[in-house]
Amino acid sequence: MNIEAYIDHTILKPSTTIGEVEQLCKEAIQYQFAAVCVPPFYVKAAKQLVLNTDVKVATVIGFPFGYSSTASKVKEAEEALADGADELDMVHNIAALKNGDWDYLSKEVSKILVPTRLNDKVLKVIIESGILTDTEIIRSCELYAKHHVDFVKTSTGYAEKGASLEAVKLMRAHLPEEIRIKASGGIRTYEDAQKYVAAGASRIGASASVHIAKEQLK
């Protein structure tokens, strides 16, 4: 398995520096990771750093808690796309979900998809599976399948529980084949990454990407 092709090489800590972004991009090019995932502040810089390579630039929207307004998320998305983002990882409004407001979530993703599709880019919706019930995970998958998002993503890495194989398997069972799954949140070894791919993930979000890639070579 070429695990590198599955990985979004990620740095999202609030204290991230430009030097760290430069190193992230250098590693992504060296190991041929699928994408780098950086804070919105660094999208322009990352785009230049991976220019003329196959590495995509991803960033986050409504991160990490998801409860910012739809209007603010749309603005974030528009700015990120203007700065050169290829992929948007949006945290859906977990507060709305926990209150059973599925209509709000439907309208939210519809509005985020407008600038994303106009720019022919990729939307990943982070559902924060670790703090959802199985029923909530299934209903989220059904909702985002109807809107034809590109990926449903497990986690931000900031909740009390990240990715789990059980959640990925449940998501895969309730999403159409064309909608991919990104597993993230606590994946730190090649063995773990392999298990998530086997469970149905098409992308792995990790900050331990280089370690994972090196383990594959052993």
Q: Catalytic residue positions?
A: 89, 153, 182
Alpha carbon distance 121, 20 (integer Å): 25
Alpha carbon distance 49, 8 (integer Å): 15
Alpha carbon distance 190, 204 (integer Å): 11
Selection from 59, 95, 92, 57 nearest residue 77 by Cα = 59
Residue 151 is inside which H or E element, if any? strand 151-153
Task: Output the CA angle 68-9-189, nearest 5 degrees.
Answer: 110
Answer whether 79's CB lies under 8 Å from 42's CB: no
Alpha carbon distance 163, 140 (integer Å): 16
